[in-house]
Chains A and B, each alone.
Chain A
Amino acid sequence: DAKTTQPTSMDCAEGRAANLPCNHSTISGNEYVYWYRQIHSQGPQYIIHGLKNNETNEMASLIITEDRKSSTLILPHATLRDTAVYYCIVYNYGQNFVFGPGTRLSVLP
């Protein structure tokens, strides 16, 4: 079973920030939070990961709460091409990725 819970679906207006929440209340100290997305039926695409600190890359920002029990993926300026299923995964080396149902993000024109 996935160690994360996410909303089933979200809408976001094009050009606006998309904020995707994830709860992972049972995360252990050495586990990372990973985000992937799957556009249509393509292979999952890595977005970002973090352990404790907030992280930012060219695709997104990841905000992790101080107690590490939840996090938020932020797409700062969503485009139509960001429409996808977004998966939040708790993971460490040697484990297997456990994918939940994810959040289906629809970016609307």
Chain B
Amino acid sequence: NAGVMQNPRHLVRRRGQEARLRCSPMKGHSHVYWYRQLPEEGLKFMVYLQKENIIDESGMPKERFSAEFPKEGPSILRIQQVVRGDSAAYFCASSPPWSGGPGEQFFGPGTRLTVL
């Protein structure tokens, strides 16, 4: 059973360009979470999605950031018109449907975004 996959692992963009980060959850997992980690800081929650639904986006910046988890295919975190402050590691996690317990989250290796 493959783990959570993220691609690309490293992404370089110039200011003003768009960044698209992809996350394929573990097989059988229908919940996806995105986190951002700035250098020397802890992970910060951004958004929680289930298939075709955004459940909680309380951690998403109000502008330029969006996320989706379509019926088919990976979850996408999209950052429009990137700025230098968007440079960070972006981690995706997935968890299975509720089965009576809390359901731990399994993390991917992350995408390191560098904005020049």
Q: Which residues of A contact B (CB under 8 A)?
A: 32, 34, 36, 41-46, 49, 87, 91-94, 96-102
Interface size class of B (residues with CB under 8 A): 20 to 34
> Is A49 within 8 A of B44, CB to CB?
no
Dominant SS at the A interface? loop
Contact status of A93 and B91, CB under 8 A, knowing A42-B109, A45-B107, A87-B42 = no
Residue from A49, A96, A97, A100 having most chain B Cβ neighbours under 10 A:
A96
Q: Decide: A99 near B42, CB < 8 A? Known: A41-B110, A42-B110, A43-B107.
A: yes
Binding site for A on B (CB under 8 A): 4, 33, 35, 41-45, 48, 55-56, 58-59, 89, 91, 93, 98, 101-110, 112
Q: Find out whether the CB atom of A41 lies under 8 angstroms from the CB atom of B107.
A: no
Contacts of A97 in B (CB 8 A): 33, 35, 43, 45, 93, 105
A-B contact pairs, 9 of them (CB 8 A): A41-B110, A43-B108, A91-B102, A92-B102, A93-B103, A96-B45, A97-B35, A97-B43, A99-B43
Whole-angstrom CA separation of A91 from B105 in the bound complex: 10
